[in-house]
Chains A and B, each alone.
Chain A
Amino acid sequence: MYKLFLCLRYLRSKVFAYFAVLGVALCVWMMLVSVSVMTGFLNKIEKAAKGLFGDIVIEGRGERGLAWYDEFIAKMKAEVPEVEAAGPFILGLGILRVEGDSDFRQHVQIAGIRLPDRAVETDFETGLFVQVGQAKPTFDPPLDQATAAIKRHQQEMRKIVEREFAKELAELAPQSRADVLENLNNLQFALSAYELSPEKYDLLARIDNAAWHQSSALARLEIARHKQSDLAQLQEKLRQAKANPQTTETEIEGIQESIDDLINLTHMEPADKRVILGLGIQGLSFRTEKGETIRYIVPGHRIILNVAPLGKKMSLSGISMNIAKFTVIDDSKTDVSSIDDKLVYIPFDTLQQLNNMHAEYDAENPNVMLTPACCSQIHVKIKDLPNGQKPDEADLQRIASKIKGVWQEFANEYARKFPNDPQLQPALHDVSIDTWRQRQIAVIGPIEQQRMLVIIITGIMSIVAVALIFVILYTIVMQKTREIGVLKAVGASSWGVASLFFAYGAAIGFVGSVIGTIAGYFTTKHINAIQNWAEAMFGLHVWDRKSFMFEFIPNEVDWTMACFILAGSILAGLVGALIPAIRAARMQPVEALRYE
């Protein structure tokens, strides 16, 4: 009993014990924050990579890519039971323009995807604007969903304005403040009449501009909603007309023209001409200093894509771009800035056409296929293991090699089928089948090494903490020599005295690591705010969005690591206490009492 009691008392009354606690806390804090951030970063990469490409990626080298993909997917699903879902994917290059803005152009990567299949293969649906979290996102969602999303976004914009201009609002007279707030609700800003700093003026102008763009999209969506039934009727009429052999060309053209007129009015292209924008493309949105994104271009706007048809054989005279108009229907945020700032998603079949990867037939004999339809990649999602856990890298590699076997068989099958026609083979060049990790190893490898390095460095620094505990406890043992004699004189055993100092060391380790963990928790949680503050205060730019790919520093605490650190700190305390405790235990009471 006295051990605990004295231990607490010593801890409270010895000022230099605080230094040991502080030392431990510092080490724990440093280790926890850096490891948490790095682990969080790795987790984010994993999530982003899986979210974009699935667990395993099959890719055909060369621009023609992979043919007979649907046949292969069916075979793979039948023969590899671990496959949960798989879908073809095309990556193309293009230039994005916005209708009505001849100044704007931006090169983009165009992803051809199948919806809603893709939501099964990847986590695509979690980052959507309109169809967020919906299990089956499509390129043709109900239009009122888009309207609701924009309205929600405008609500956020109002909050930003109210926050950023709280000071200016407070200075207004009550009556005019009410007017301004009223205007604010309609996103019409009268604040510009007041004196604002250039930055604030700029922000207000941008939000104003965004609100103006959004209102035009909202108006188009409203018209489209009203004209939806008209359009459906016309389309039905067109279908019937085409089915009826007695209809003349002129009649069909007439119906087609009315449909085109309607589309020009509503700006709502048919479902195969819809686009989901990456949220972060330069000029289509902007980011406030606090990190919120405000959209200029929202669902309801129309854009133009010039697609470079990479799937086509190139002649010396070059290639001409394929052009198509698309209606924006949603936007997607993966949190990987290098993807969000240049990727747009359109329906798979549409991009196949625009990229010239569709099947081609002999002009004279439509039954003779010249080239089969192709895709660039097949993304595969793997089922959870029977025990409910996510498959790890080793599982994925095992499954990947299984898929390789299936692919080999498949390729051989087609080689026998079309022995003289290489164009009809599944692939013209090598095919790689890799796990998400193998594809990202260039990014992941160095980070994992860095994490190890941080653990080692902070581990070495922890030796200093151990030494600190040792020195402090040793000093206390020397100081307390006579008191140790007294304790023994009143009946304390050697082990009892030793355990007093062990408890003391462990307590320093424990208290230190608890303080360090709490500090680490708050630092990690608010690391983005701290980074912003450091940037504003000292111009310190630690987290470069470009090189780290992500918008925000990961701020999840690595609790597994925290447990290890806690155990390690207590161990460090015990190690530091070892020699002092032994010394105290071996002290003869008489000598201890004589000690001056």
Chain B
Amino acid sequence: MSKHDNKKTDKVAPASGSLVSAVDLRKTYRMGKVSLEVLKGVSFDVRAGEFMAIYGHSGSGKSTLLHLLGLLDEPTTGTVFIDSTDTAKLPAGKRNRMRSLDVGFIFQFYHLLPELSVLENTMLPSMVDSSVLGFLTGKGSHRQRAAELLNELGLGDRLKHRPKELSGGERQRVAIARALVNKPKLLLADEPTGNLDSKTGQRIMDVLLRFNRENHQTILMVTHDEDLADEVGRAITLQDGRLVK
């Protein structure tokens, strides 16, 4: 594969003190003979404890950028450093592990598993991370951690419910609990309020802000809502695959 042997990438190092560094990320999709360059060289740093927004119109490449940062996709060239580790050089197993332990994801459409209860959905990342034996021995602490988190998010009386029995705002709060259950270094949120009415959306934003403020949770949020971008500490704008400010 030619995407990692870019010499330019190999030479770069993350800025010191930053948790996440994007270094000259490019992403090109090939659709038959036409190739579509979604990201055209994006570089930025996120410091630990920061709440940063990536603002852009739809089609600006912001979701793709978020997926690259969350190791859900691989850049055509460029790399992502997480906690000083060059993720482009990691084998698949390590990337899986990093995705499970170091990164948490929140999606616009929640993506909860309908067969599982609220509590089980929240525990899913800790289950993925452990073997049967490891899970059974650590089950109590996993459960406790998940329940505490759900309590904190005001879902303490909903543990046994199925996702379809919840409102949109409640579902997104379960998704937040799931993303945070493994205490990730980085929380990535992809339009977390995009599917909610403004009042509920604001409550979700409040939750995120609170986690950032009280727990120093590093959060990177993608949004097309300028007002939301203004609410957080720092915002960068993405336009046609490039950062504009």
Contacts and interface: CB of A to CB of B under 8 A. Distances in A.
B130 A1 contact: yes
A496 to B, nearest CB: 7
A485 B129 CA distance: 16
Contact of A491 (B64, B115, B128): B128
A490 B93 contact: no
A4 interface: yes
Interface stretch (B100-108, B147-155, B221-229): B100-108
B96 A493 contact: yes
Interface in B4-50: none
A492 interface: yes
A1 B73 contact: no
Contacts of B115: 6, 9-10, 13
B72 A4 contact: no
Interface in A1-48: 1-2, 4-6, 9-10, 13
Nearest to A10: B115
Contacts of A9: 115-116
Given A6-B115, A486-B113, A593-B72, A491 B132 contact: no
Given A483-B113, A493-B92, A493-B93, A488 B72 contact: yes
Given A9-B116, A493-B93, A590-B72, A487 B128 contact: yes
A588 interface: yes
A147 B26 CA distance: 103
B131 interface: yes
Nearest to A486: B111
A491 B96 contact: yes
Interface in B84-129: 92-93, 96-101, 105, 107, 111-113, 115-116, 120, 124-125, 127-129
Given A490-B105, A491-B101, A493-B93, A5 B127 contact: yes
Contacts of A10: 115
- Most chain A beta-carbon neighbours within 10 Å: one of B64, B113, B129, B132: B113
A342 interface: no
Contact of A489 (B92, B93, B105, B129): B105
B132 A490 contact: no
Given A490-B128, A491-B96, A494-B92, A1 B111 contact: no
A280 interface: no
Contacts, number: 74
A6 B105 CA distance: 20
B171 interface: no
Contacts of B129: 491
Nearest to A588: B73
A513 B101 CA distance: 39
Given A486-B113, A491-B96, A491-B129, A2 B72 contact: no
A482 interface: yes
Contacts of A486: 107, 111-113, 124
Interface in A556-596: 588-590, 593
A485 B132 contact: no
A483 to B, nearest CB: 5
Contacts of A494: 92
A492 B130 CA distance: 11
Contacts of B211: none
A550 B121 CA distance: 61
Nearest to A14: B115
B67 A590 contact: yes
Interface of B: 64, 67, 70, 72-73, 92-93, 96-101, 105, 107, 111-113, 115-116, 120, 124-125, 127-132, 134-135, 178
14 contacts: A1-B131, A2-B124, A2-B127, A6-B113, A482-B111, A483-B113, A487-B128, A490-B128, A491-B129, A492-B96, A493-B93, A494-B92, A588-B73, A590-B72
Given A5-B127, A491-B97, A491-B98, 5 more contacts: A483-B111, A488-B96, A489-B70, A490-B99, A593-B72
